[in-house]
Amino acid sequence: MPVTDALTRHLKARHKFSVVDRLECLGSPASDRSFDVFNPSTGELLARLPDMGREATKAAIDKAHAAQSEWAALTARDRSDALWRWHQLIVQHTDDLSAILTAEMGKPLAEARSEISHAAAYLQWYAEEANRIYGETISAPSTDRRMLVIKQPIGVVGTITPWNFPASMVARKISPALAAGCTIVLKPAEQTPLVAGAMFLLAEEAGFPRGVVNLIYAAEGNDVGLELCTNPKVRKISFTGSTEVGRLLMRQCAEQIKKLGLELGGNAPFIVFDDADVDAAVDGAIQAKFRNAGQTCVSANRIYVQTKVHEEFVEKFVTRVRKLAVGDGFSSHAAIGPLIDSNAMKKVEAHIADALAKGGVVQCGGQRLKNGATFFEPTVLTNTSSNMRIAHEEIFGPVAPIICFEDADQVIREANDTIYGLAAYFYASNLKRVWRVSEALEYGMVGINTGRMSSEAAPFGGIKQSGIGREGSRHGLDDYLEMKYICMGGI
Ligand code: SIN
């Protein structure tokens, strides 16, 4: 079945994107099982897609494997040109891709447009970076030897992308892999597979050779992940999602010592010191907390505010949060879309109930909207403390707990007291403090006086149980390259 009218009425190039289940062009065989994709704002059915299982995954891996050596043998310039063409097509089709994204994921259209532009930026960045893969010569310790290092593509890469950024995460993983000379098999999240399908149609138009990019549509619970992790033709797995699933994939990859790139959960502290510009901190907190309705792994999870500026911050922050309109992502006033599903809603409610039972106070919000969908009011909680679940678990929703603190050393200890280490933010102006705090925070990324830091030019990734490896920047390419040391003797 093609995508439904509920989706095509938003599209300009109706013909092109009403065939996102045209699998042959996406490099994968069809299936007789299916699964449905819904709009989380309205509950409307958007598409019925083939649920491709383990056999189809195996076939897609075979295609990627067969295409691997030819793709790797092209010049870097040829791979770069294909990425450029794909970049340009994505830019040209921004309206349609954003509409598909909003329909299946729910985020406001302006955020969807910004995500598509971020996705295009990754393709552009790695189209450029493809031409800059360098090796190394080493001064040999004896005169009769020459030593050098070359970099080669790792091989077939299995990628699994999440529902919260269903376009930019596809680009963030695939573009460095393709630039490095790897071929890929991608499984997008079952809630949001359509924008990935549309991007793959554009990849076909960009002229990637057959078998280089392969898409697997699959509902949860099938064995696609297992096949990707255990098939010896796949040499690397790149996954963005929960720490729990990351652990499972690691276990599945252990047998073959398969390389893994993992971008997992977070528990970002957002610290406002008493020398901060409070208005700027409020702006940053709105962005770090409420972008994508709080459904990002770098969302501010715990907002720590120093005593001297606590009252001013809370008052200004709550005033701003009350103005955030919740609604269908296609409506022009909506700043916050729905949560992805009813489980997400239940988790947010459980976090709030736990905080209230332990003395937390609701300053605004705190309830689901009574319209039957998964909309939740943007919420601010005060009087929160580190013994609450929200201080330790990823909220993944529009709930901002504010914790008052007095002492700078104590707040750093609390900020670091977590299994996660993805992103941290702080606002301060004293330079000595800025350096000391950025070095003391045990996180892969630290934002100083900003609530947003994701960029194609920078290495995105975490430490501790937030992941392994980096995506974006020149470092993102290294994850898809093997180093080979070559030694010539008898000279
Ligand atoms: C994520 O939540 O995984 C990505 C967020 C971002 O790119 O800013």
What is the residue-wise DSSP string for 47-62?
Answer: EEEE---HHHHHHHHH
What pLDDT score was predicted for residue 9? 81
Tens digits of residue pLDDT in 368-426 = 998 878 999 999 999 999 999 999 999 999 999 999 999 999 999 999 999 999 999 99
User: Is 31's pLDDT higher than 80?
Assistant: no
In order of their start, the domains of the chain are: 5-264+466-486 (3.40.605.10), 268-455 (3.40.309.10)
Alpha-helical segments (H) within 134-263: 168-180, 194-206, 224-230, 243-254
At position 184, the amino acid (one-letter code) is: I
Q: Which of 135, 126, 134, 177 is nearest to 153 (CA)?
A: 177
Burial of 333: CB neighbours in 10 Å, binned 0-12, 13-18, 19+: exposed
Residue 393 annotated in active site: no
Query: What is each CA distance from 256 to 93, 141, 241, 250, 268, in whole angstroms?
Result: 40, 35, 22, 10, 33
How much distance in Å is there from the Cα of 472 to the middle of ligand 1?
12
What pLDDT score was predicted for residue 7? 83
Q: What is the mean pLDDT of residues 171-191?
A: 98
Task: Write down the catalytic residue from 263, 377, 414, 456.
Answer: 263
Query: pLDDT-derived band of residue 1, with 50, 70 and 90 as boundaries?
Result: very low
Query: pLDDT-derived band of residue 13, with 50, 70 and 90 as boundaries?
Result: confident
What pLDDT score was predicted for residue 24? 62
Q: What is the mean pLDDT of residues 333-351?
A: 96
Pocket test for ligand 1, best of 118, 262, 290, 297 (most atoms within 8 A of CB): 297
User: Is 106's pLDDT higher than 90?
Assistant: yes
Q: How far apart are CA 107 and CA 172, in angstroms?
A: 19
Residue 178 has phi, psi (to 5 degrees) of -65, -40
298: Cβ below 6 Å to ligand 1?
A: yes
How much distance in Å is there from the Cα of 408 to the middle of ligand 1?
28
Closest ligand 1 atom to residue 297 Cα is 2
292: Cβ below 6 Å to ligand 1?
A: no
Q: What is the mean pLDDT of residues 122-144?
A: 97
Q: Which of 218, 214, 128, 239 is nearest to 179 (CA)?
A: 128
Report whether 80 contacts 477 (CB < 8 A).
no
% of the chain surpassing 90 pLDDT? 91
Closest ligand 1 atom to residue 298 Cα is 2
What pLDDT score was predicted for residue 333? 93
What pLDDT score was predicted for residue 403? 97
Alpha-helical segments (H) within 130-184: 168-180
Query: pLDDT-derived band of residue 33, with 50, 70 and 90 as boundaries?
Result: confident
Residue by residue, what is the 3-state secondary structure of 217-246?
CCCCCCCHHHHHHHCCCEEEEEEECCHHHH
Residue 297 annotated in active site: yes
165: Cβ below 6 Å to ligand 1?
A: yes
Q: What is the mean pLDDT of the chain?
A: 95
Tens digits of residue pLDDT in 241-265 = 999 999 999 999 999 999 999 999 9
| Location of structure tokens 């499972």 | 248
